[in-house]
Chain A
Amino acid sequence: MSEPLQRALDRISRVRGVRGSMWVAAEDGIPVAQLLMEGVKGKAVAALAASLARKVSGAAAATGAGRVRFVQMEAAGGTLLVAPAAQDLLIVALADSRVNVGLARLEMIRAAEAALA
């Protein structure tokens, strides 16, 4: 795993409540790099996050909302956060209910900018 990507995941995973973070190929839905707590199914999260991002982007384009910058999906079992990054990658975080979404979002966007600058 390349070091800038790893460093970005380290930073995101330090946010309280985050159970894992990963870089995902947006087109393929395959993990490129990941840092996950035990029990988190990386392949499933990557595939579903990419699918979600694609559908939300499609909906945003259809309604004229423009480029999607951040996706937050809250479910009973946790929260999925997705931020599109450069080079056709997504940065994805999986968190529990304790997470401060604002902080996680900030770290994700910073990480995306720093890692791929």
Chain B
Amino acid sequence: MSATTVVETWTEAPLVRYVGQASARLVVVMTPSGQVLAQHGFARAMDLMSAAALGAAIMASSGALAQLLGEQTFGALFHAGVHHGIHLAPCATPRGGLIVLTVFGRETSIGLVELFYEEFAAALKRAAPVDQVREPVLAKDFEADLHRSLTSLFRR
């Protein structure tokens, strides 16, 4: 399965375009707490939730390290593997800060992913509804939110 599915519909058009332009294999658009808003390419809910949680944790760790060094943020992170690379970057929108995790293969390059990520981030910013601020995720709602997200994303 390589479909794009979204929880929040305003993310869909920019995500579909980004996936096509950057030739990304997997993409997750999430909140800094790891709540998934949209995804492309994941076949299993477990993989998606793991990727989102780990991506959010990496951004939180690097953000804390940046603060220790007196930086506001380090911006995008890039890790290169033999067969895959990952690009993890923040994106500010009127709906609040988001994190985008992109997994790509050798058919594209980090240069192309970065190039098209800038367009994607700008498109998300334009598409985000300005009149709604996201509610913080509370522990008591977490399971229900997670279940709702998985249902939307995997049509179950």
Contacts and interface: CB of A to CB of B under 8 A. Distances in A.
A27 B104 CA distance: 13
Nearest to B115: A47
B109 A51 contact: yes
Interface string B105-132: 0001111101100000000000000000
Contacts of A48: 112, 115
Interface in A81-106: none
A18 interface: no
Interface in A13-58: 24-25, 27-30, 43-44, 46-48, 50-51, 54
Main secondary structure of the interface of A (DSSP, over half): helix
Count chain B CB atoms within 10 A of each CB in A30, A44, A46, A47 and give the residue with the most.
A47
A44 B80 CA distance: 20
A47 B108 CA distance: 9
Interface string B17-54: 00000000000000000000000000000000000000
Interface residues of B, number: 8
A46 B110 CA distance: 11
A10 B108 CA distance: 30
Nearest to A41: B115
B109 A28 contact: yes
Contact of B110 (A29, A44, A54): A29
Contacts of B110: 28-30
Contacts of B112: 29, 47-48, 50-51
A27 B115 contact: no
B109 A27 contact: yes
Contacts of A25: 111
A25 B111 CA distance: 9
Contacts of A44: 115
Contacts of B80: 28
A85 B108 CA distance: 20
B115 A50 contact: no
A82 B23 CA distance: 22
Given A30-B109, A47-B111, 10 more contacts: A25-B111, A28-B80, A29-B111, A43-B115, A44-B115, A48-B115, A50-B111, A51-B108, A51-B111, A54-B109
6 contacts: A28-B110, A29-B109, A29-B110, A30-B114, A43-B115, A51-B112
Nearest 4 pairs of A and B residues by beta carbon: A29-B111, A47-B111, A29-B109, A47-B115
